[in-house]
Amino acid sequence: MAEKTLFQKICDREIPADIIYEDDLCLCFRDINPQAPVHLLIVPKKAIVRIARAEAEDQATLGHLLLTARKVAEQEGFAEAGFRTVINNGPHGGEEVPHLHLHILAGRPMTWPPG
Ligand code: 5GP
């Protein structure tokens, strides 16, 4: 069996995290090194590696991550002010943890394009 990813270990409560939301399909917790006043990570419990490895059977889970972004934005009170969602994919995408995750950045104006 493949070794668990860092985020799988957080999902399984083997590593602590500041969890703010959980349901059957995903977990949302605060990033340990925040890049904005609010920096959340939404992680599917199924260890999909990255978008480039997602399968047709993952469609519902992928859609669920975006609807969870809406849910936590409302829960945390920044839905109307706005926020950024980011998924880093592979080496050129800046991905560090090979377990799909949606970054949610909020609490300040963002610039575009990113570096
Ligand atoms: P990536 O670069 O793979 O898109 O993002 C990985 C993110 O995971 C980074 O923003 C990093 O700060 C965050 N991170 C790395 N290790 C931990 C950890 O142990 N706990 C939490 N909560 N976040 C982590």
Contacts of 70 (CB under 8 A, 6+ apart): 79
Using the atom order of ligand 1, give the atom closest to the CA of residue 98.
3
pLDDT at position 2 is 77
Q: Taking 70 as the threshold, does the pLDDT of residue 115 lie above it?
A: no
pLDDT at position 28 is 98
pLDDT at position 45 is 97
Q: Is 33 in the pocket of ligand 1 (CB under 6 A)?
A: yes
- Report the separation in Å between the CA atom of 55 and the middle of ligand 1, taken as the mean of its atom positions: 24
> Is this prediction's ipTM beyond 0.95?
yes
Q: Taking 90 as the threshold, does the pLDDT of residue 86 lie above it?
A: yes
With H, G, I as helix, E, B as strand and everything else as coil, classify residue 22.
strand
Q: Is 5 in the pocket of ligand 1 (CB under 6 A)?
A: no
Active site residue 39: no
CB atoms within 10 A of CB 105: 19
> Mind listing the domains of the chain with CATH numbers?
6-106 (3.30.428.10)
Q: Taking 90 as the threshold, does the pLDDT of residue 1 lie above it?
A: no
pLDDT bin (cut points 50, 70, 90) of residue 114 is confident
Q: Summarize pLDDT for 4-63 with one digit per residue, the tens.
A: 999 999 999 999 999 999 999 999 999 999 999 999 999 999 999 999 999 999 999 999
